[in-house]
Chains A and B, each alone.
Chain A
């Protein structure tokens, strides 16, 4: 099946620093990738939709200047959490939509745990 990787898997940083998370589709091209956030024991929350070669579409309540998304190629999207604060500590998960198949399934990366001290 389709494989999506994320890097890093764990990040611990000081408040005020910026953190970049990479999401890669390894064996398929993804014109669309999605960034989710999940707090403990809560549902997945879609943050933004990342489209290759164009600006990301952010969900209501998500600050686009704080969560910078770049989708520079058909296999890579990055999420940068700028000036991170403890309330940004969460599990960040990306997914990529495989439009090559019939189902247009979203496949998820393994997630990145961010802890801001």
Chain B
């Protein structure tokens, strides 16, 4: 079967760094996406990884290891507005997105 695992909830402090992990088992792999979803809003695209390694985009970075079926999203210099759910999704061999349940990130002052 297809499975995406990520922690349900994480808490971090404003100004700190947090790493959100995602492990996956899917039928085929055509890239891994991270999306941010604020409460009551639709998801917004953050990053895409299809090759192993680290992709950096401002305060956010995403890492992928295909051999380990593992990715993480790294958020630096946390701000209160980063409080949201972070969704990991893998595009399978049919180019369909398989979604994780999301990680709710709580930022404390």
Contact = CB atoms under 8 A, between A and B. Distances in A.
B105 to A, nearest CB: 15
B3 interface: no
Residue among B30, B35, B45 facing the most chain A CB atoms (10 A cut-off): B45
Nearest to A45: B99
B31 A104 contact: yes
Which of B40, B42, B43, B91: most chain A CB closer than 10 A?
B42
B55 to A, nearest CB: 11
Interface residues of B, number: 21
B96 A104 contact: no
A103 interface: yes
B45 A105 contact: yes
B45 A43 contact: no
Contacts of B48: 103, 105
Contacts of B96: 46, 49
B23 to A, nearest CB: 16
A44 B99 contact: yes
B20 interface: no
A1 B45 contact: yes
B97 interface: yes
Contact of B43 (A44, A49, A97, A103): A44
Interface of B: 30-31, 33, 35, 40-45, 48, 50, 87, 91, 95-97, 99-102
